[in-house]
Amino acid sequence: MGINSRSVAGALVPAIFLLLRFAGAAEPPVKKAREPLGLMPIIWPADNPYTPEKVELGRLLYFDPRLSADGSVSCASCHSPKFAFTDGAAVSTGIKGQKGGRSAPTVINRAYSLAQFWDGRAPTLEEQAKGPMANPIEMASTHDAVVDTVKKIAGYRVLFAKAFGTEDITIDHVAKAIATFERTILSGNSPYDRYKAGQKTALTPSQVRGLQLFTGKARCDECHEGINFSSNAYANLGIGSDKPDPDVGRFAVTKNPKDWGTFKTPTLREIANTAPYMHDGSLKTLEEVVDVYDKGGIPNQNLDSRIKALHLTDQEKKDLVAFLRSLSGEGWQQIKAPEKLPE
């Protein structure tokens, strides 16, 4: 998410409450999210620093289906709190029931992600926020139409003035507000985090064995590394490569043959709550995911050299899945849809 362009100063803004009123109704106060145990302070972009006004505006826009062409689809349609900010489906459904070709990744901990989308085509979270609005399969609007819609809503004009100091609403303002809200959607303080902090009873014996496998025999941490369990890089596991018309992944962006069939390594935070798995949602359970890795992926012209058969025992597979379940934490559950949208 453009991590090298962020400002540390934004992460030091003290937590405060915001009370906004529109259409005669008061919204609940919004305070700055405190990073849960196990996470690092969020580094906010220099050109889009944190403010509570921007977070609240972004929350409203995120849940507002009026940003789509027919008022039926919002950001939350595919990234819902009910499904740990995914949609629980193999591929997402957009306007008029249209199906996309990829699974909706979770928004949780996107503050620690670099380029966005499975293929990394958006360099920042702000740019990612713009994409679905103009995608004919997703929200099927245009950026100009989104701005026109928002400008016609008096309640939004007031909120944009508070957040940006101007009623001159632009698509960049819309995207910045949504991205600011999304950076407050966090997961930490998991059993794993408490274990690492010294609470040795936080993990079960099976989960401890799974952690040892994760960093040892299974070598999962070669790609799923760091506080967010993601290298922010790309890999080819062969998923979908055996289909008649395989998704070429990042190759569509870079045109580099080495990127054929590669996809961004996702976070493993909340992985137990974000099924189905892989870029095409083809694997329904964590057990199926472990089996694919155990077999050494799916052979294809560009299989990642790190993907090797693991030959795990049944007990080792169970332990590894148990550890993955220990990465479910706290923070995102407190985020709710607004009771009322601006009028």
Q: Do 127 and 86 share a structural domain?
A: yes
Catalytic one among 27, 53, 127, 138? Answer: 138
Look at residue 106 and tell me if it is in a domain: yes
Look at residue 330 and tell me if it is in a domain: no
* Last residue within a domain, chosen from 161, 187, 213: 187
* Last residue within a domain, chosen from 187, 216, 250: 187
Which of 9-13, 61-65, 76-80, 339-343 shows the lowest mean pLDDT across its residues?
9-13
For the residues 103-132, what does the mean pLDDT come to? 97
Predicted TM-score (pTM) of the model is 0.89
Q: Do 195 and 166 share a structural domain?
A: no
Look at residue 107 and tell me if it is in a domain: yes
Q: What's the pLDDT at 167? A: 82
Structural domain total, the chain: 2
Q: Do 306 and 205 share a structural domain?
A: yes
Q: Residue holding tokens 């996809």? A: 263
The DSSP code for 176 is H
Q: Do 167 and 25 share a structural domain?
A: yes
Which of 29-38, 70-79, 273-282 shows the lowest mean pLDDT across its residues?
29-38
Alpha helix segments (H runs only) across the chain: 52-62, 75-78, 125-134, 143-151, 154-164, 171-182, 191-196, 205-215, 251-254, 286-294, 314-325
Other CB atoms within 10 Å distance of the CB of residue 5: 13
Q: Do 27 and 176 share a structural domain?
A: yes
Look at residue 338 and tell me if it is in a domain: no
C-alpha–C-alpha distance, residues 67 and 62, integer Å: 9
* Last residue within a domain, chosen from 187, 217, 242: 187
Question: What range defines the domain where residue 54 resides?
Answer: 3-187
Q: Do 260 and 176 share a structural domain?
A: no
Note if 138 is an active site residue: yes
